């Protein structure tokens, strides 16, 4: 029994962070649940989160970053030198940064036909979650311009469905000309079993 403990200590004790209860030296302090930091510090924290596969930030994690969340996410999403997965996660996380400049950026990203398709799809979903009735025209426009991109049309259809009654008329209008069965299914159904309203 003692030899197992000794082997365990020799193997596991040298691991960095083993049993660490304090933040790493040099990390930005959190005061009253809010990160006291500049936009760049928040950006670096987000990049660490978006680099991992095990850690998925929750609403409380994003709320703890304070007012710099939106600008930091926008900075990551615009940075073409960043990995596309990180950029896409940044756009998705904009659902937690509900300030007007962030929503304006998301709307502009959706309208930008030169943007990466996955970023436009994420932008459509964020607008459906956060922009309310004001997103209908932008979503319909992106849907109409995505003739060769069935995945963007699917994202726009999902977003319109998330808007509830505000998107019903537009979904019915778009359904008339839609040929792809996957998009038609999203335009037809207002809510599916198990879907969060």
Which pLDDT tens digit goes with each residue over 48-66?
Answer: 888 877 778 888 888 888 8
How high is the pLDDT of residue 99? 84
Neighbours of 76 (CB within 10 A): 21
Over the stretch 121-139, which tens digit does the pLDDT of each residue have?
999 999 888 878 888 888 8
Cα dihedral angle (100, 55, 61, 102), rounded to 10 degrees? -10
Q: Where are the domains of the chain?
A: 36-97, 123-191
With a threshold of 0.75, does the pTM exceed it? no
Q: Please say whether the beta carbons of 10 and 39 come within 8 A.
A: no
Tell me the chain's radius of gyration from C-alpha atoms.
21
């Amino acid at each position: 029994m003692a030899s197992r403990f000794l082997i365990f200590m020799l193997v596991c004790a040298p691991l960095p962070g083993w049993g660490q209860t304090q933040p790493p030296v040099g990390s930005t302090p959190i005061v009253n649940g809010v990160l006291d930091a500049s936009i760049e510090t928040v950006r670096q924290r987000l990049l660490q989160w978006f680099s991992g596969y095990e850690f998925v930030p929750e609403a409380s994690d994003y709320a703890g970053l304070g007012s710099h969340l939106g600008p930091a996410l926008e900075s990551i999403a615009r940075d073409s030198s960043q990995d596309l997965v990180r950029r896409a996660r940044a756009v998705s996380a904009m659902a937690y940064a509900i300030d007007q400049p962030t929503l304006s950026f998301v709307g502009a990203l959706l309208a930008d036909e030169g943007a990466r398709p996955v970023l436009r799809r994420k932008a459509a979903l964020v607008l459906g979650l956060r922009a309310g009735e004001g997103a209908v025209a932008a979503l319909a426009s992106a849907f109409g311009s995505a003739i060769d991109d069935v995945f963007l049309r699917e994202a726009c259809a999902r977003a319109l469905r998330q808007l509830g009654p505000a998107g019903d008329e537009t979904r019915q209008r778009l359904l008339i000309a839609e040929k792809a069965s996957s998009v038609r299914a999203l335009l037809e159904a207002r809510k599916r079993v198990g879907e969060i309203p």
